[in-house]
Chain A
Amino acid sequence: MRLNYPTNVKIVKVPCTGRVDTILILRAFESGVDGVYLAGCLEGECHFLKGNLRAKKRVQYAKALLDEVGLGGSRVEMVNMSSAQGQRFAEVAREITEKIRALGPSPIKNRLKVGG
C-alpha cells in the first residue's frame, strides 16, 4: 500500500492490546514520550474475546492517573482498527500526532532522571 505515517510514531508490538497493563503506559511517559495510543482490534472482534475492551478500560484508568500527575489524560488514547485497515492506521497515526503536537511536548521531557 506504501502508505506514509509520521516517523515520530514508534510501534511497540504486543500480541493483543489486552497485554498492555496500565504500568506500561505510565512507563512510556516516564521514558519521556509525548503521547501514547493503543491500536486494538475492532470492538467485538478480539481474537481473545475481550482484550481490546480491557485495554479500553485501562486507557481510561491511565487517563485518570495522568490527570492526577498533571500530564493530562488526553495524552493517551485507545483506537480500534482491523489488521486490514492500513489506510485507517496511517490516518490515526497522523490524527494522534497532530493532537499530541497541539498539546505540546510532555511537561517532563528532559527533566526525568533515569533510574531512581
Chain B
Amino acid sequence: MIVGNRKSLEEILGMIAPYKKVLLLGCNECVTVCAAGGEREVSILASELKLWYAREGREIEIREHTLERQCDHEYIDQIRPFVDGYEVVVSLACGAGVQYVAEKFRTKSVLPAINTTFLGVTLEQGVWSERCQGCGTCILDQTGGVCPIARCAKSLLNGPCGGSSNGKCEVDKEIECGWQLIVDRLKELGQLERYEEIIPVKDWSSSRHGGPRRRVREDLKL
C-alpha cells in the first residue's frame, strides 16, 4: 500500500489560513489502512481544527467527506455537487489523490494534509515499513524476493557494502541491511549460489529517470 504520514496541525493551519470554508477529503484506500487519511483521521483533523479555531475565537466551517478512492475520477465526481460550497479542499489522500482531485476542479485549491512516504507493508498494528520504490523493472526473482533498490540505503545491485555490520545498515542501527536480508533469504531457499551472479547495470529509464510514467491497456479502454 501507499503509506503516508499526516502533516502537523501547524502546517495544515498555515495552509488553510486564508480560508473559512474547508472541505476535508479522506480516502478509503491505502491511507485508511495506514491510519493517515481515512474517515477516522478526517474526523480527528476536523475536531482538531474546530478546537483550534474555537480557542482562537475564530470561525471555520468544516465538512468531512471520505471517498472510496481519490485516484479514480468516478469517485472524485461524487463531491461535484457540493465542492463549490467550500473555498478549499484539504485532501488526506496520497499525493496521487491530491493531484487528481486538483485536476478535476481546476479553479479550486486542493491542499495536502499528508506527506506521502513510501510503498510498504504493515509489520504489525501501527508499524509500517518500506518495501518497494516502484522502479519499473522488478528484479525480486534474482534477489531472493528482497528488493535491494528499496531495502538497501544505497540501492546497491551487488551488495552489501562495507557499511553492513551485524546485519544492520550504517545509516541507522534500526535499519536492517538489505543485502544481509537477501543473503539470509537465499540461504533459506537453498539458492545461495545465486548470490554469486553479478546483477548487471540496471536500466533506470523505467524508473523516475525516464520522466513521469504512464501505463496503457488498449484492450481495456472504452
Indicate whether A92 reaches chain B with its CB closer than 8 angstroms. no
Indicate whether A112 reaches chain B with its CB closer than 8 angstroms. yes
A26 and B47 in contact, given A68-B9, A113-B59, A116-B62 (Cβ under 8 angstroms): yes
Indicate whether B96 reaches chain A with its CB closer than 8 angstroms. no
Q: Cβ of B55 and Cβ of A23 under 8 Å apart?
A: no
Chain B residues near A104 (CB-CB < 8 A):
none
Q: Cβ of A26 and Cβ of B59 under 8 Å apart?
A: no
Q: Cβ of A70 and Cβ of B48 under 8 Å apart?
A: no
Chain A residues near B8 (CB-CB < 8 A):
68
Tell me which of A21, A22, A23, A112 contacts B54 (CB under 8 A).
A112
Indicate whether A69 reaches chain B with its CB closer than 8 angstroms. yes
Contact with A along B43-80 (1 / 0, CB 8 A): 11001101110110101111000000000000000000
Report the count of interface residues on B (CB-CB < 8 A): 18
**In the assembly, what is the distance between CA of A107 and CA of B51, in Å?**
9
Tell me which of B43, B47, B52, B61 contacts A70 (CB under 8 A).
B52
Q: Cβ of B40 and Cβ of A26 under 8 Å apart?
A: no
Chain B residues near A68 (CB-CB < 8 A):
8-10, 48
Tell me which of B43, B44, B55 contacts A111 (CB under 8 A).
B55
A22 and B44 in contact, given A68-B9, A116-B61 (Cβ under 8 angstroms): yes
Indicate whether A46 reaches chain B with its CB closer than 8 angstroms. no
Report the count of interface residues on A (CB-CB < 8 A): 19
**In the assembly, what is the distance between CA of A108 and CA of B51, in Å?**
7
Indicate whether A16 reaches chain B with its CB closer than 8 angstroms. no
Indicate whether A30 reaches chain B with its CB closer than 8 angstroms. yes
Indicate whether A41 reaches chain B with its CB closer than 8 angstroms. no
Q: Cβ of A111 and Cβ of B57 under 8 Å apart?
A: yes
**In the assembly, what is the distance between CA of A92 and CA of B50, in Å?**
30
Q: Cβ of A116 and Cβ of B60 under 8 Å apart?
A: yes
**In the assembly, what is the distance between CA of A80 and CA of B54, in Å?**
31
Nearest neighbor of B40 in chain A, beta-carbon distance:
A23
Chain B residues near A26 (CB-CB < 8 A):
44, 47-48, 51
**In the assembly, what is the distance between CA of A38 and CA of B7, in Å?**
28
Chain A residues near B50 (CB-CB < 8 A):
30, 112, 116
Q: How many Å from the CB of A5 to the closest CB on chain B?
A: 27
Q: How many Å from the CB of A29 to the closest CB on chain B?
A: 6
Nearest neighbor of B61 in chain A, beta-carbon distance:
A116
**In the assembly, what is the distance between CA of A111 and CA of B55, in Å?**
7
Indicate whether A100 reaches chain B with its CB closer than 8 angstroms. no
Indicate whether A71 reaches chain B with its CB closer than 8 angstroms. yes
Q: A23-B44, A30-B51, A112-B54 are in contact. List 14 more A-B contacts (CB 8 A).
A: A30-B54, A66-B51, A68-B9, A69-B9, A69-B48, A69-B52, A70-B51, A71-B55, A108-B51, A108-B55, A112-B50, A113-B59, A116-B50, A116-B62
